[in-house]
Amino acid sequence: MNSGAQPGHVYLVGAGPGNPDLLTLRAADLLRTADVILPDDLVSEDVLALASPTAEIIAVGKRCGQPRITQAGIHGLMLEHAQADRSVLRLKSGDPLVFGRAGEELAALREAGIPVEIVPGISVAFAVAADLQIPLTDRASASKLILATAHHAEGKVELSPSWSGAFPDDATLVIYMPGRNFGALASDLIASGIPQETPCVAVSKASTPLQHVCATTLGDLHVAAIGPAPVVLLIGRAIKLP
Protein backbone atom coordinates (compact mmCIF):
# COMPACT_ATOMS: atom_id res chain seq x y z
CA MET A 1 0.00 0.00 0.00
CA ASN A 2 1.31 3.47 -0.92
CA SER A 3 2.36 5.76 1.92
CA GLY A 4 2.26 9.55 1.85
CA ALA A 5 4.33 11.74 -0.44
CA GLN A 6 8.00 10.74 -0.51
CA PRO A 7 10.96 13.17 -0.61
CA GLY A 8 12.48 13.65 -4.03
CA HIS A 9 9.39 12.36 -5.84
CA VAL A 10 6.97 14.12 -8.18
CA TYR A 11 3.30 13.14 -8.31
CA LEU A 12 1.12 13.99 -11.32
CA VAL A 13 -2.29 13.93 -9.70
CA GLY A 14 -5.84 14.38 -10.95
CA ALA A 15 -7.90 16.72 -8.75
CA GLY A 16 -11.18 15.78 -10.41
CA PRO A 17 -13.69 18.38 -11.65
CA GLY A 18 -13.72 20.53 -8.51
CA ASN A 19 -15.77 18.83 -5.81
CA PRO A 20 -13.36 17.44 -3.17
CA ASP A 21 -15.76 14.55 -2.56
CA LEU A 22 -14.70 13.24 -5.97
CA LEU A 23 -10.99 13.00 -5.14
CA THR A 24 -9.42 9.57 -4.96
CA LEU A 25 -8.13 8.45 -1.57
CA ARG A 26 -4.59 8.54 -2.97
CA ALA A 27 -4.97 12.12 -4.16
CA ALA A 28 -6.30 13.24 -0.77
CA ASP A 29 -3.41 11.48 0.99
CA LEU A 30 -0.84 13.22 -1.21
CA LEU A 31 -2.50 16.60 -0.68
CA ARG A 32 -2.12 16.16 3.07
CA THR A 33 1.54 15.13 2.90
CA ALA A 34 3.23 16.87 -0.06
CA ASP A 35 5.86 19.56 0.61
CA VAL A 36 5.18 21.54 -2.57
CA ILE A 37 1.94 21.75 -4.56
CA LEU A 38 1.83 23.10 -8.13
CA PRO A 39 -1.87 23.45 -9.05
CA ASP A 40 -3.50 24.53 -12.28
CA ASP A 41 -5.99 27.40 -12.04
CA LEU A 42 -8.96 25.06 -12.54
CA VAL A 43 -8.15 23.19 -9.31
CA SER A 44 -10.77 24.40 -6.84
CA GLU A 45 -10.08 26.17 -3.57
CA ASP A 46 -12.07 23.43 -1.81
CA VAL A 47 -9.57 20.86 -3.04
CA LEU A 48 -6.57 22.99 -2.10
CA ALA A 49 -8.04 23.45 1.39
CA LEU A 50 -7.10 19.80 2.04
CA ALA A 51 -3.39 20.58 1.68
CA SER A 52 -1.05 20.51 4.65
CA PRO A 53 -0.76 23.94 6.30
CA THR A 54 3.01 23.64 5.89
CA ALA A 55 2.86 22.94 2.14
CA GLU A 56 4.18 25.57 -0.26
CA ILE A 57 1.51 26.19 -2.89
CA ILE A 58 2.72 27.73 -6.16
CA ALA A 59 -0.05 28.36 -8.71
CA VAL A 60 1.14 27.53 -12.23
CA GLY A 61 -2.04 27.73 -14.30
CA LYS A 62 -3.50 30.31 -16.65
CA ARG A 63 -5.85 33.24 -16.26
CA CYS A 64 -7.97 34.15 -19.31
CA GLY A 65 -5.62 32.09 -21.45
CA GLN A 66 -2.54 34.00 -20.33
CA PRO A 67 0.12 31.88 -18.62
CA ARG A 68 1.74 33.21 -15.45
CA ILE A 69 4.53 30.73 -16.11
CA THR A 70 5.73 28.85 -19.18
CA GLN A 71 5.58 25.08 -19.47
CA ALA A 72 9.37 25.03 -19.25
CA GLY A 73 9.06 27.04 -16.05
CA ILE A 74 6.74 24.40 -14.60
CA HIS A 75 9.29 21.73 -15.49
CA GLY A 76 11.94 23.79 -13.75
CA LEU A 77 9.91 24.10 -10.55
CA MET A 78 9.25 20.36 -10.40
CA LEU A 79 12.91 19.54 -10.91
CA GLU A 80 14.16 22.23 -8.52
CA HIS A 81 12.05 21.09 -5.59
CA ALA A 82 12.39 17.35 -6.23
CA GLN A 83 16.18 17.68 -6.49
CA ALA A 84 16.08 19.54 -3.16
CA ASP A 85 14.60 16.34 -1.69
CA ARG A 86 11.08 17.73 -1.36
CA SER A 87 7.92 15.91 -2.38
CA VAL A 88 6.17 17.68 -5.26
CA LEU A 89 2.48 17.38 -6.12
CA ARG A 90 1.69 18.56 -9.65
CA LEU A 91 -2.07 18.96 -9.31
CA LYS A 92 -4.23 19.02 -12.43
CA SER A 93 -8.00 19.38 -12.80
CA GLY A 94 -9.81 16.28 -13.97
CA ASP A 95 -7.43 13.49 -14.96
CA PRO A 96 -3.74 14.30 -15.54
CA LEU A 97 -3.58 12.22 -18.72
CA VAL A 98 -6.55 13.93 -20.43
CA PHE A 99 -5.50 17.23 -22.06
CA GLY A 100 -3.14 17.92 -19.17
CA ARG A 101 0.31 18.13 -20.84
CA ALA A 102 1.36 15.11 -18.81
CA GLY A 103 3.46 13.79 -21.68
CA GLU A 104 5.68 16.86 -21.67
CA GLU A 105 6.08 16.83 -17.91
CA LEU A 106 6.80 13.10 -17.80
CA ALA A 107 9.51 13.52 -20.43
CA ALA A 108 11.22 16.27 -18.40
CA LEU A 109 11.08 14.24 -15.19
CA ARG A 110 12.34 11.04 -16.81
CA GLU A 111 15.22 12.88 -18.49
CA ALA A 112 16.27 14.23 -15.08
CA GLY A 113 15.88 10.82 -13.41
CA ILE A 114 13.19 12.03 -10.99
CA PRO A 115 10.88 9.31 -9.57
CA VAL A 116 7.31 10.00 -10.67
CA GLU A 117 3.89 8.56 -9.89
CA ILE A 118 0.65 9.26 -11.76
CA VAL A 119 -2.62 9.32 -9.84
CA PRO A 120 -5.74 9.30 -12.03
CA GLY A 121 -8.66 11.60 -11.38
CA ILE A 122 -12.30 11.81 -12.44
CA SER A 123 -12.39 13.61 -15.77
CA VAL A 124 -15.09 16.25 -16.10
CA ALA A 125 -16.93 14.33 -18.83
CA PHE A 126 -17.60 11.43 -16.48
CA ALA A 127 -18.47 13.68 -13.55
CA VAL A 128 -21.00 15.58 -15.66
CA ALA A 129 -22.57 12.42 -17.06
CA ALA A 130 -22.95 10.96 -13.57
CA ASP A 131 -24.38 14.15 -12.09
CA LEU A 132 -26.91 14.61 -14.90
CA GLN A 133 -27.61 10.87 -15.10
CA ILE A 134 -27.05 10.69 -18.84
CA PRO A 135 -25.14 7.80 -20.42
CA LEU A 136 -22.19 8.60 -22.65
CA THR A 137 -22.69 5.33 -24.51
CA ASP A 138 -25.87 3.45 -25.35
CA ARG A 139 -26.41 0.13 -27.08
CA ALA A 140 -29.04 1.66 -29.35
CA SER A 141 -27.47 5.00 -30.23
CA ALA A 142 -23.83 5.41 -29.19
CA SER A 143 -21.18 2.70 -29.44
CA LYS A 144 -18.30 5.19 -29.56
CA LEU A 145 -17.04 7.89 -27.19
CA ILE A 146 -14.79 10.64 -28.57
CA LEU A 147 -12.94 13.01 -26.25
CA ALA A 148 -11.66 16.10 -28.04
CA THR A 149 -10.60 19.67 -27.38
CA ALA A 150 -11.00 22.91 -29.30
CA HIS A 151 -7.89 24.28 -27.55
CA HIS A 152 -4.82 23.68 -29.67
CA ALA A 153 -1.10 24.18 -29.37
CA GLU A 154 0.34 27.51 -30.46
CA GLY A 155 0.36 27.81 -34.23
CA LYS A 156 -2.82 25.82 -34.84
CA VAL A 157 -5.88 27.77 -35.97
CA GLU A 158 -8.72 25.22 -35.96
CA LEU A 159 -11.87 26.40 -34.18
CA SER A 160 -13.04 22.87 -33.49
CA PRO A 161 -11.81 19.28 -33.33
CA SER A 162 -11.09 17.81 -36.74
CA TRP A 163 -11.02 14.33 -38.24
CA SER A 164 -10.93 12.67 -41.64
CA GLY A 165 -14.23 11.83 -43.29
CA ALA A 166 -17.73 12.14 -41.89
CA PHE A 167 -18.33 12.12 -38.17
CA PRO A 168 -19.71 8.72 -37.01
CA ASP A 169 -23.42 8.97 -36.22
CA ASP A 170 -23.16 6.39 -33.42
CA ALA A 171 -20.72 8.43 -31.35
CA THR A 172 -20.93 10.73 -28.35
CA LEU A 173 -18.58 13.69 -28.71
CA VAL A 174 -17.23 15.44 -25.61
CA ILE A 175 -15.41 18.72 -26.24
CA TYR A 176 -13.19 20.06 -23.50
CA MET A 177 -12.27 23.77 -23.60
CA PRO A 178 -14.65 24.57 -26.48
CA GLY A 179 -13.89 28.31 -26.38
CA ARG A 180 -16.65 30.90 -26.71
CA ASN A 181 -17.30 30.97 -30.47
CA PHE A 182 -20.08 28.41 -30.29
CA GLY A 183 -21.57 29.50 -33.61
CA ALA A 184 -18.38 28.69 -35.53
CA LEU A 185 -17.93 25.48 -33.56
CA ALA A 186 -21.48 24.33 -34.37
CA SER A 187 -21.07 25.21 -38.03
CA ASP A 188 -17.88 23.16 -38.28
CA LEU A 189 -19.51 20.17 -36.59
CA ILE A 190 -22.62 20.36 -38.77
CA ALA A 191 -20.38 20.55 -41.85
CA SER A 192 -18.67 17.36 -40.65
CA GLY A 193 -22.00 15.55 -40.88
CA ILE A 194 -23.55 15.89 -37.40
CA PRO A 195 -27.28 16.70 -37.81
CA GLN A 196 -28.48 20.07 -36.53
CA GLU A 197 -31.08 18.40 -34.30
CA THR A 198 -28.44 16.41 -32.37
CA PRO A 199 -28.87 16.98 -28.60
CA CYS A 200 -26.18 19.00 -26.80
CA VAL A 201 -25.52 19.76 -23.15
CA ALA A 202 -23.08 22.50 -22.16
CA VAL A 203 -22.02 22.43 -18.51
CA SER A 204 -20.19 25.33 -16.88
CA LYS A 205 -18.16 25.02 -13.66
CA ALA A 206 -19.07 21.33 -13.34
CA SER A 207 -19.48 19.75 -9.89
CA THR A 208 -19.19 23.08 -8.08
CA PRO A 209 -21.94 25.16 -6.40
CA LEU A 210 -21.80 27.43 -9.48
CA GLN A 211 -22.56 24.63 -11.95
CA HIS A 212 -24.73 25.77 -14.85
CA VAL A 213 -26.38 23.34 -17.27
CA CYS A 214 -27.67 24.33 -20.71
CA ALA A 215 -29.49 21.73 -22.82
CA THR A 216 -29.96 22.58 -26.50
CA THR A 217 -29.37 21.20 -29.99
CA LEU A 218 -26.35 21.62 -32.22
CA GLY A 219 -28.32 23.88 -34.54
CA ASP A 220 -29.30 26.20 -31.67
CA LEU A 221 -25.94 26.13 -29.90
CA HIS A 222 -25.07 29.65 -31.13
CA VAL A 223 -28.04 31.18 -29.27
CA ALA A 224 -27.93 28.99 -26.16
CA ALA A 225 -27.45 30.55 -22.71
CA ILE A 226 -24.14 28.87 -21.88
CA GLY A 227 -22.46 29.71 -18.58
CA PRO A 228 -18.93 31.04 -18.05
CA ALA A 229 -15.74 29.04 -18.50
CA PRO A 230 -14.71 26.38 -17.81
CA VAL A 231 -17.25 24.64 -20.03
CA VAL A 232 -17.51 21.08 -21.26
CA LEU A 233 -19.77 20.29 -24.21
CA LEU A 234 -21.48 16.93 -24.74
CA ILE A 235 -22.98 16.16 -28.15
CA GLY A 236 -24.74 13.05 -29.43
CA ARG A 237 -27.96 11.10 -29.73
CA ALA A 238 -27.40 9.49 -26.31
CA ILE A 239 -27.15 12.91 -24.61
CA LYS A 240 -30.68 13.50 -23.33
CA LEU A 241 -31.53 14.91 -19.93
CA PRO A 242 -34.01 12.85 -17.85
Q: Catalytic residue positions?
A: 40, 62, 177
Give CA–CA dist 18/45, Å, rounded: 8
Q: What are phi and psi of 13, to 5 degrees?
A: -125, 135
Q: Are 7 and 34 in contact (CB under 8 A)?
A: no
Q: How far apart are CA 93 and CA 109, in angstroms?
A: 20
Task: Give Cα 213 to chain centroid, integer Å.
Answer: 17
Helix (H, G, I), strand (E, B) or coil at 181: coil
Query: In degrees rounded to 5, what are phi and psi of residue 88?
Result: -120, 125
What is the distance between the alpha carbons of residues 216 and 56, in angstroms, rounded to a whole number?
43
Long-range Cβ contacts of 107-111 (<8 Å, 24+ apart): 108/75, 108/78, 108/79, 109/10, 109/75, 109/78, 109/79, 109/82
